[in-house]
Structure 1
Amino acid sequence: MLNALQVFTTVVVGVMVGVEFSVAFVINPILNALPDESLVLGRAHGGRMLGAVMPFWYLGSLALVTVWAVAGRHDQGTGLVVVAGGLLLLSVIMSIALLVPINNRSKTWTPETRPADWKQQMIRWDRFHYGRIAIIIGAFALLVAALA
């Protein structure tokens, strides 16, 4: 049963990493190449859509890693799992403190209602997002190493 939990957790975190990576390096560059009006609408829609799902995914991943760490506390790779959990916790804190406030504003924007500094806010969100991606990639790598 523990093996199934370990594999399931690693897959859930890995897919989350893939989604976040694709947002940063595929979706946003595509949207950024569009005219400003379309860019605002696309990022607002993405913010609403992913903003509704990602809290459950991040917290669910953290919960799964916590259960893995507790259930496998006597296993050899548990230290790696605990550190991965710490990184996921950091990503949740970072999301709540830095990314969510920008996302909550930007998901309501239209071409007519966007603020004067909307591009700077998007650039700030992207920078924080790159940092968060690095953190969750680290967590994923530690989970994979714990399986080995």
Structure 2
Amino acid sequence: MITVFEVATIVVVGILVGVEFSVAFILSRIFNALPDDSNQLGRSHGGRMLGALMPFWYIGSLVLSVIWALIAWGRDGTAFIIAGAAMLLLSVIMSVVLLVPINNRGKMWTPENRPADWKQQMRRWDRYHYVRVAVLIAGFVLLALAR
């Protein structure tokens, strides 16, 4: 029998995947189609807004998955939960090591103070983010398979 906790974990992680997928494949393409100033301002605002929310969402998803693994320990599907939690842990590590440093710089930029290589830094962030989205999708699928 599926529990409310399992459903809540899958829903929280699923919505995280959806938001990050949208950032990667919709918002970044919209921003890149705008003139440079609007592109950069949109990315800076998004970095501030999502940068304030995402740490709680990522850590919360990981914690929910770990708790689920502990509750389900020894039952069928536990390996999937552990593997899914490992993918979420990898996404947190990737975020802290690769994406957050770029985001912390970018969220402070304005058209007047942005560095000459701001587009290259944003492209690097986008590439890292694509990989992170793939890791998140893998984690989500593994959690869903646990059911």
TM-score by length of 1: 0.97
Q: Do 1:5 and 1:68's aligned partners in 2 also have CA atoms closer than 8 Å? A: yes
Residues in 1 aligned to 2:28 and 2:42: alpha-carbon distance in whole angstroms: 9
Residues in 1 aligned to 2:102 and 2:39: alpha-carbon distance in whole angstroms: 16
1:133 aligned partner: 133
Q: What is the correspondence of 1:43-122 to structure 2 with a 5 Å cutoff?
A: 43-122=43-122
Residues in 2 aligned to 1:136 and 1:68: alpha-carbon distance in whole angstroms: 17
Letter in 2 for 1:18: G
- Identity percentage over the alignment? 61
Q: Gaps (5+ residues) in structure 1? A: none
Letter in 1 for 2:143: L
- The answer as to 2:96 corresponding to 1:124 is no
Residues in 1 aligned to 2:50 and 2:118: alpha-carbon distance in whole angstroms: 19
1:37 aligned partner: 37
Residues in 2 aligned to 1:9 and 1:74: alpha-carbon distance in whole angstroms: 19
Q: Closer, same or farther in 2 for the Cα pair 1:92/1:136, shift >3 Å? A: same
Question: Tell me, what secondary structure is at the counterpart of 1:110?
Answer: coil
Q: Do 1:81 and 1:146's aligned partners in 2 also have CA atoms closer than 8 Å? A: yes
Structure 1 residue runs of 4+, over 2 Å off? Answer: none
Residues in 1 aligned to 2:48 and 2:138: alpha-carbon distance in whole angstroms: 27
Q: Do 1:62 and 1:85's aligned partners in 2 also have CA atoms closer than 8 Å? A: yes
Residues in 2 aligned to 1:141 and 1:58: alpha-carbon distance in whole angstroms: 16
Question: Tell me, what secondary structure is at the counterpart of 2:146?
Answer: helix
Residues in 1 aligned to 2:22 and 2:87: alpha-carbon distance in whole angstroms: 20
Q: What is the correspondence of 1:13-24 to structure 2 with a 5 Å cutoff?
A: 13-24=13-24
TM-score by length of 2: 0.98
Residues in 2 aligned to 1:136 and 1:129: alpha-carbon distance in whole angstroms: 10
Q: Do 1:6 and 1:68's aligned partners in 2 also have CA atoms closer than 8 Å? A: yes
Count matched residues.
147
Deviation at residue 2 of structure 1 after TM alignment: 6.8
Q: Do 1:69 and 1:78's aligned partners in 2 also have CA atoms closer than 8 Å? A: yes
Residues in 2 aligned to 1:58 and 1:83: alpha-carbon distance in whole angstroms: 16
Deviation at residue 74 of structure 1 after TM alignment: 2.3
Deviation at residue 3 of structure 1 after TM alignment: 1.1
